[in-house]
Amino acid sequence: MQAMVLDRPATAEARPLAAKTLPEPEPGPTEVVLKVAACAVCRTDLHTVEGELPLPRLPLIPGHQIVGVVERAGPGAADLLGRRVGVAWLGGACGACRWCRSGRENLCPDARFTGLQRDGGYAERVAVEAAFTYPIPDGFADVQAAPLLCAGVIGYRALRLAGAMAGGTLGIFGFGASAHVAIQVARHVGCDVFVFTRAARHQEHARALGAAWAGFPEEAPPAPLDHAVIFSPAGEQVPLALSRLERGGCVACAGVTMSDLPGFPYERLYQERVVRSVANATRADARELLALAAAVPITTTVEALPLAAANEALLRVKRSRVTGALVLVPG
């Protein structure tokens, strides 16, 4: 099979992924092998190839927003043969620790992540744990569904942890792949959404998706925020979001990495305001988001590229030259 492989981390400008022909993966007893139809490109993939995340193994195939059809299955997963399924960032958890037992498998110390501990979807085929796959709703083409599996799921979890599923005014800081799904969920549950982003094309995209206001991060929105989600990796936006936040509101930081937070006066946090991180997502988050995607229905803005263009795609993500999401298509 063809795959884009990371042998050693390097900057996206150095084109760190190499096209290789590899043996096809074999499914373990509880695994399935997918023929990959689409794999969306995530900023976490960029952090992986550039070495900003600790790499537990090399070489490695990145990619964790996968849609494909089950071609082969271990004896414990034969019922999935022939089905179209999705695969997300969380690729496995122990199921026995106190976090798993309390519904917080995203915090499992032994969690395994697709495209990090396990080879991912920048390939023609991928082996995954059957229990960590999700049926894709009808009505979504493969390339349209792929961004839902991380950008969508993380955005949904961030909205939920910020309290935005109850409606109210929501501030979104940064407007990339995850935010362009989250705004559709937020509007579906009754939020007025204000988007803070510097790029004019991202402001236009936000307005097209129903933002009540879009402007620069330093600008004042039309009303105070009940909730805020920061998708940008810029730590300086945390005190900025707090300064826009109503009493009792929450700022959720959705990125896997973020630059250092600057100091800020306690008054910005006072009155029971909350700042919290969002770490990974659970299988329940993925199932709930996919159900919402069909109910809304969510429309993803995507640009399909061949698998061989993975290095180009990562560089475009790094330089914020994407509207919506980029999706790699093998074959």
Assign 325 to helix, strand or coil: strand
Whether 64 contacts 89, CB under 8 Å: yes
Read off the pLDDT of residues 69-106 as tens digits, 9 standing for 90 and up: 999 999 999 999 999 999 999 999 999 999 999 999 99
Encode pLDDT of 264-295 as tens digits: 999 999 999 999 999 999 999 999 999 999 99
Burial of residue 320 (number of CB atoms within 10 Å: 0-12, 13-18, 19+): middle
What tokens were used for 41? 């490109």
SS3 309: helix
Helix (H, G, I), strand (E, B) or coil at 249: strand
For 185-208, what is the mean pLDDT?
Answer: 97
Q: CA 288 to CA 323: how far, in whole Å?
A: 25
Return the bridge partners of 86, or none: 67, 134
Measured CA to CA, the distance from residue 123 to residue 114 in angstroms comes to 13
Written as one letter, the residue type at 286 is A
Average pLDDT over residues 218-231: 97
Per-residue pLDDT tens digits for 4-47: 999 999 999 999 999 999 999 999 999 999 999 999 999 999 99
What domains can be seen in the chain, in order of their start residue? Answer: 2-147+301-329 (3.90.180.10), 152-277 (3.40.50.720)
Identify the residue whose tokens are 């998706």.
209
Other beta carbons less than 10 A from residue 135's beta carbon: 12
Residue 188 in this model has a pLDDT that exceeds 90:
yes
CA distance 282 to 88: 10
> Any idea what DSSP says for residue 114?
B
For residue 149, report the phi and psi dihedrals to the nearest 5 degrees: -80, -10
Q: Residue 323: name the closest of 142, 213, 202 by CA.
A: 202
Cα 169 from chain centre: 23
Q: How far apart are CA 81 and CA 83, in angstroms?
A: 6
Question: Considering the chain, what is the average pLDDT of its residues?
Answer: 97
Q: What local confidence, expressed as pLDDT, does residue 154 receive?
A: 97
**How much is the average pLDDT of 185-210?**
97
pTM of the model: 0.95
239 pLDDT exceeds 90?
Answer: yes
Q: What share of the chain is helix, strand, coil (3-state, %, to 5)?
A: 30, 30, 40
Is the pLDDT at 331 greater than 90, yes or no?
A: no
DSSP codes joined into one string, 18-60 = EEEE-PPP---TTEEEEEEEEEE--HHHHHHHTT-S--SSSSB
DSSP, collapsed to helix, strand or coil, labels residue 275 as strand
